[in-house]
Amino acid sequence: MFGTISVGIRMPMFNEGSDVRKIVVDNLLKADIKFKERDVICITESIIARSLGNYVTVDDIAFDVKEQFGEDPEVGVMWPIFSRNRFSLILKGIARASKRVVLQLGGTGKDDVGNDLYNQFTGINIIEFYKDLVEKEGAQCEIYLDDYSNTLPDKVRNIIVCETHNPKNTINVISPIYPDHKFITPEDLCNKQKPGRKGWNEDYGLYGSNKAGDELLKLFPRSIDCQDLVEGIQKDILEKTGVNVEVMVYGDGCFKDPVCGIWEFADPVVSPGYTKGLEGVPGEIKIKYVLDNDLKNESNQEEEIKKKIKEKEQDLKGNMKSQGTTPRRYTDLLGSLADLTSGSGDKGTPVVLISGYFKNYSED
């Protein structure tokens, strides 16, 4: 008997103007899937951004940098991610707007998601790469390896704090010490709709973006678009099958590679949109803990386990029977599973169906 099943669903290509809702629903029905209550349909974020044309150019980024700091500013870039895909075009836009760029990279030799200054897989030395990129845009470039937050503000007044998560915490600590400085984050760039500009993200700005060309950057999808999509797909599946499924959009799955140490979470959130049934965290008991401590000498362990699961409390916080179950949010857990199932390469499965996730050992 199966428990949780995660299956990648092949889809056609998605381009600007594609009707994601219709294409996803039609192809799920064409696959002749027998939906069960609370099955979860997971849709990768990239096809939503692509279908809506949610892109910005390097010039768009440069325009917003000048809007924040004035013409030909000197700009400090604090703790950027070491990624050509994630950060090179953002840095290119900053350099295009500036006369001098000062980068402060973490003194540990890693960024905040675990990338090394020298990537063993690509052979890229990020210091050389970023310096060359800035100078090709005509800006002076200085790079420092330092973890101390007061180093960069001593060198430049305009600073973009680029930590992948919680940059506002850093700003809250530093800004009172430097009241004459201006601190922003990538969230403050390309976060407004402007004349002649195709893309923007009012929630996350440039966070979660990906390189789409030498001058083009795909933004993370807007939350309002994701929410409309997931609720629409849920409604369509219910009307066509009579089954109430859950639907979510997912980006990075938030897991750490045990070999290279990279924490695969460069998006601002795992899920920018999901149906209401995916709110909350699991409340599970640890079967092996109960077996070792409560049912060691029981002859009918299976039935006793089922009974304990049925009788468990709704809130198991602090209960020893739940230790080791890690109460992460449903959307983070499901997003990790979906991301690992779909991959990021050539599988062609941007939609993942997860079935049986909300069933436990006590249910047939």
pLDDT of residue 322: 44
pLDDT of residue 85: 93
Cα-based angle 154, 190, 24 (whole degrees, multiple of 5): 135
Other C-beta atoms closer than 10 Å to the C-beta of 104 total 26
Which range, of 99-113, 186-200, 253-267, 339-353, averages the lowest pLDDT? 253-267
- Asked if 101 contacts 139 with a C-beta cutoff of 8 angstroms, the reply is yes
Of residues 264 and 99, more confidence is placed in 99
Does residue 20 or residue 255 have the better pLDDT? 20
Residue 206 belongs to what domain range? 55-218
pLDDT score of 312:
66
Q: Give the model's pLDDT for residue 324.
A: 47
Question: Tens digit of pLDDT for each residue in 21-32?
Answer: 999 999 999 998
Residue 104 lies in a domain: yes
In a domain? residue 161: yes
Please tell me the distance from the alpha carbon of residue 185 to that of residue 206, in angstroms, as a whole number: 9
Supply the pLDDT for residue 325: 52
Contacts of residue 330, defined as CB under 8 A and 6 or more positions apart, other chains included, come to 278, 279, 280, 281, 282
Q: Strand 158-161 and strand 182-184: pairing?
A: parallel
Q: For residue 256, tell me if it sits in a domain.
A: no
Tell me what the mean pLDDT of segment 96-110 comes to: 92
Q: What is the largest CA-CA distance in the chain?
A: 78
Residue recorded with tokens 């950027």? 80
**CB–CB of 76/156 below 8 Å?**
yes
User: What's the total number of domains in the chain?
Assistant: 1
Cβ atoms of 325 and 282 closer than 8 Å: yes
Mean pLDDT of 329-347: 89
Residue 203: CB partners within 8 Å, gap ≥ 6? 191, 220, 222, 223, 268, 272
- Indicate whether 228 belongs to any domain: no
Q: Is residue 125 part of a domain?
A: yes
Q: How far does Cα 1 stand from its chain's mean position?
A: 33
> pLDDT for 178-187, tens place per residue?
999 999 999 9
Residue 231 lies in a domain: no
With respect to residue 226, please indicate whether it lies within any of the assigned structural domains: no
Q: Does residue 48 sit within a domain?
A: no
Question: Euclidean distance between the first and final Cα of the chain, in Å?
Answer: 9
CATH of the domain at 194: 3.40.50
Q: At what angle do helices 126-136 and 84-97 cross, to 10 degrees?
A: 30
3-state secondary structure of 95: helix
Dihedral of the CA atoms 128, 134, 86, 176 (nearest 10)?
110
User: pLDDT grade, residue 148 (50/70/90)?
Assistant: low
